Structure 1
């Protein structure tokens, strides 16, 4: 696991640091077999890719943030390399459709979470991050980093938006920036420091660098006081990003990652599941998938296995799919969604939720962290379209997938600050926090 390897790696390797940026070391690729249930889920996602090389969003056009989620799933499992290449090629042609408002006639804007997520997509596909299509994603990400003149915001990877849009860059985007930059030439310490500032002393991370409903950065998480809302999803992202930063000798990263993983282990529910924060507090496969992946990265194998088992209880298999037998491998957001699909199949208006739940949920099953995807050569093994049968658990209900989105702008209103793009802009809808940015 990443946490264990980090200690040995740091003890054995000295890195050259220039102007706060760490030189990227040579990484040895290792072979690893992928979990067949994770592969089945990824193969289902591959069938959802449209002729544009993207996953359709709620309005039917490609949602490039969601598409990157599917790409992450394919790269994490080694499933369907051809579709992964198709998605990568499509992303290279649609960078500005995702990380800007150019298509809506508002030029010059840049969305931090989307930019960082594109950078991460470049590194996990072994693309040139400085020439991803026509774009230098590494430099574009660095251009969004707040300098010391912004005081408490120093190191924040922030949106470049004009009024009336709001800078909603958050811990998801910050984590993806740390992951992408650390693997494409080095991550400045200020960016890592700002991410660590989002961690409260108990170990959990907040989603935003300010109170919900606010907009002014408050300093570190503890300084926010009782208003700080610790978010399991954000913590899972930050833990994995900080393990990756620790591999590149970023100060304080390993200690913060271990502390975050310990907090996740302490809040895991008795049935192995996790919920998010706010309206996503009920147990769901999105939060459980990310948390399980982070726990495995930290070497918390037993806790990670319990999370994976809960996710498996929500996967459609030949034994439990019933009316959804054409959708084997897909993973439901919660027990309510699973039961509805078993009775009526996956209804058209619910399909977006399944497309968002599956890529994040399967991360609990894939034995590879966000920091390792693309560095570990994953063998999907013989393709078996039938996921391992499991007995579905009761689920925990929940708001039908009503989670903050991290996908691309899907409406012209996005240019007015109502849309959602990357981890930086949040739209409550049938989605989840991440896109990944």
Structure 2
């Protein structure tokens, strides 16, 4: 990829779509098109497309014939997560089409055979992706995903009386029922966009899963429990930031403008913003809870869609810090995976010398797919990229101060001169960065460079022995 200097580095970076295997792109690719909700959320912010674009390029390259590999064959759920994330990146329309072309013929492997096995959450998520890929979810791989999802959604009236679990989704499976609030949120989105008669009941049941503080829990009560509502302080109603973020995202994308939904979104947004740390990070919940890029990116994206731009920006900055860009003289074992986002910072440290271990690659794929969303709100630089030397000439071996302007907040760059280099990151404020480089021997003019993942700038000074 060639480098170019742009006046303000906030424009989309044109990157080539990664080849996904011969024969996968059977149909002409549709350009990826951010949803109206995302466009509206970003309208008043100056964002840098670079981090989401290079993350998208990396994760697209991880696909194998349009599907994300798993431990035992394709991971269809992660494939759909990837496709939904890539649909927000303008340059990735071809990849979204490739994913669809590989997924659609095999959709039964993900949603069940439709008779003995029928999985509600996967049906809802698949229907959501089908629409995002500009396909019809009522005729997808020979299946009507909406009708099948309606069959997995409890009716408002059962046996002639009001049904206490009206709108609740459930699996039909000999393996048990694994439906939860995340699947319910996708069901609301899919049924609403299909104008299903069951959309209202599904929405009302989802809203019952929101506790008084504003968060959504992850799991439903057992089907025979009378209330079915989130009750703060009771076992089973613990706060879950990921479930809350996905509920927000899917409710916003459902287009439901009802007062009940708008009120729920406001409460969830307040809770998510309160959960966010000063660093911008959001801690997950449940066993093994940790500060990580998945929870932070999902939460930041949800807050961005709710037009809390300050919180979305803070989250994006924290996620971007976990996207190593070690190029040029700053090369490491991670350079070949430029664009990938680590789940946690310690993963970056470990992989800098060894690269991403084969058994850890799945975690990086999951982290990066979600990170693409949160990185949509990464702030742009306020200036063009440039490097300035404070001296016009110096002696060999001198440590000379250089000033770098135009790095976006949290953006990684490499400052270099023959024989020396420094890794730098853009300041949160976007202000200039000052670093020293040691000049090499030789009586000649030397070039000092600053290079980012997609740009470079240079200056020169005379060196004398």
On whether the aligned pair clears a TM of 0.5, the verdict is yes
Structure (1/2) with the larger helix percentage: 1
- Match for residue 118 of structure 2 among 107, 110, 133: 110
Instruction: Look at both structures and tell me which one has the larger radius of gyration over its CA atoms.
Output: 2
Question: 2:321 matched to 1:313?
Answer: yes
Question: 2:87 matched to 1:64?
Answer: no
Query: What is the rounded CA distance, in whole Å, between the counterparts of 2:48 and 2:96 in structure 1?
Result: 16
Higher relative contact order (CA 8 A, sep 6+): 1
- Match for residue 334 of structure 1 among 334, 344, 350: 344
The aligned counterpart of 2:400 is none
In 2 relative to 1, CA 136–367 (structure 1 residues): closer, same or farther, beyond 3 Å? farther
Q: Deviations over 1:385-421 (max 9, x none)?
A: xx9417689xxxxxxxxxxxxxxxxxxxxxxxxxxxx
Query: What is the rounded CA distance, in whole Å, between the counterparts of 1:70 and 1:243 in structure 2?
Result: 19
In 2 relative to 1, CA 140–227 (structure 1 residues): closer, same or farther, beyond 3 Å? closer
Structure (1/2) with the larger strand percentage: 2
Q: Deviations over 1:202-238 (max 9, x none)?
A: 100100013xxx6755511027735521100000011
Query: What is the rounded CA distance, in whole Å, between the counterparts of 1:172 and 1:29 in structure 2?
Result: 20
Query: Contact 2:312–2:377 (CA<8 Å) still a contact in 1?
Result: no
- Match for residue 237 of structure 1 among 239, 246, 249: 246
- SS, match of residue 69 in structure 2: coil
Query: What is the rounded CA distance, in whole Å, between the counterparts of 1:226 and 1:111 in structure 2?
Result: 26
How many residues were matched structurally? Answer: 338
Query: Contact 1:322–1:342 (CA<8 Å) still a contact in 2?
Result: yes
- Match for residue 81 of structure 1 among 89, 93, 98: 93
The aligned counterpart of 2:185 is 175
In 2 relative to 1, CA 121–96 (structure 1 residues): closer, same or farther, beyond 3 Å? same
The aligned counterpart of 2:261 is 253
Query: Contact 2:165–2:223 (CA<8 Å) still a contact in 1?
Result: no
Alignment of 1:92-171 (within 5 A): 92-100=104-112, 102=113, 108-148=116-156, 149=158, 151-162=163-174, 165-171=175-181
Question: 2:234 matched to 1:221?
Answer: no
Query: What is the rounded CA distance, in whole Å, between the counterparts of 2:189 and 2:359 in structure 1?
Result: 34
Q: Compute the displacement of 1:153 (Å).
A: 2.1
Question: 2:52 matched to 1:38?
Answer: yes
Give unpaired runs (5+ residues) of structure 2: 1-35, 379-409, 414-423, 427-465
Q: Compute the displacement of 1:343 (Å).
A: 2.0
The aligned counterpart of 1:48 is 62
Q: Deviations over 1:115-142 (max 9, x none)?
A: 1110010111111111112111111111
Q: Deviations over 1:333-378 (max 9, x none)?
A: 001211111121001011111111111122111259xxxxxxxxxx
Q: Deviations over 1:125-171 (max 9, x none)?
A: 11111111211111111111012438432111211123xx2212111
Alignment of 1:191-230 (within 5 A): 191-210=202-221, 217=225, 219-222=228-231, 225=234, 227-230=236-239
Q: Compute the displacement of 1:242 (Å).
A: 2.2
Query: What is the rounded CA distance, in whole Å, between the counterparts of 1:29 and 1:310 in structure 2?
Result: 20
Deviates more, 1:182-191 or 1:352-361: 182-191
CA RMSD of aligned residues (A): 2.8
Q: Compute the displacement of 1:56 (Å).
A: 0.1
The TM-score normalised by the length of structure 2 is 0.67
Query: Contact 1:314–1:392 (CA<8 Å) still a contact in 2?
Result: no
Q: Compute the displacement of 1:311 (Å).
A: 0.3
The TM-score normalised by the length of structure 1 is 0.72
- Match for residue 278 of structure 2 among 270, 279, 291: 270
Query: What is the rounded CA distance, in whole Å, between the counterparts of 1:306 and 1:185 in structure 2?
Result: 36
Give unpaired runs (5+ residues) of structure 1: 1-26, 369-386, 394-437
- SS, match of residue 79 in structure 1: helix
